[in-house]
Amino acid sequence: MSVIEVGKIVKPQGIKGEVKVLCYVDNPSGLSKLAQITVGGRPYRILRARAVGQEAYLTLEGVADRDAAESLRDKVLTVPRELADDLKKGQYFVQDLIGLVLTDGERELGKITDVLQYGAADVLVLDQGKRMVPYLNKLVLDVDLTAGKMLVDGKVYGEVVCEN
């Protein structure tokens, strides 16, 4: 079964076991619709969830105090992929982009090894950090997950990437 990373616990919140989650999803309030979530590979029932901005606060069954919440710090939260399939056209999961070959149609420009998520634009990391490319609508022409390729506009690529 395939899973999607939806966030990471960044710290305990208060003394009753609530945890603060940095969400990787566009809509953190969607976590409140889940009955269960996996934290660091272990399933937990969600007793309470609330979203504030790009963060969520969760109360998990079996996590009753600050010490128990602290033990979950830096753990990644995942859900089964089928629970996260409401993507709109042009939206992709980060893990689906990693491994794609960037091409301008004539030449391979590099392989995506990571995606950094910033407020203004996501940044595609190519070839283990040798180059970084902003994920811009005017740059990306097509994403073909089946073929493992991302087609970009060669002219725009030349404008946004400095190559030595």
Cα separations in angstroms, 1 against 26, 38, 82, 83, 112 = 23, 13, 9, 12, 24
User: What mean pLDDT do residues 25-33 have?
Assistant: 81
Q: Half-sphere exposure of 158 toward its Cβ, with a 13 Å CA cutoff?
A: 5
What is the pLDDT, as a whole number, of residue 164? 53
**pTM for the predicted model, two decimal places:** 0.67
The pLDDT confidence band at residue 85, using thresholds 50, 70 and 90, is low
**Tens digit of each residue's pLDDT (9 = 90 or more) over 140-163:** 999 999 999 999 999 999 888 866
Is the pLDDT reported for residue 1 higher than 80? no
Region 24-35 average pLDDT: 83
Q: Which helix (H) or strand (E) holds 131?
A: strand 131-134
End-to-end CA distance of the chain: 42
- What is the tens place of the pLDDT at every residue in 7-22? 999 999 999 999 999 9
Q: How confident is the model at residue 86 (pLDDT cuts 50, 70, 90)?
A: low
Q: Do domains 3-84 and 94-160 have the same CATH topology?
A: no
140-158 burial: b if 16+ Cβ within 10 Å, else e: beebeeeeebbbbbbebbe
Instruction: Report the 10 Å Cβ neighbour count for 1.
Output: 5
CATH topology for 3-84? Elongation Factor Tu (Ef-tu); domain 3 (2.40.30)
Residue ranges covered by each domain of the chain? 3-84, 94-160
Predicted confidence at residue 91, as pLDDT, reads 75
Which CATH architecture does the domain made up of 94-160 adopt?
A: Roll (2.30)
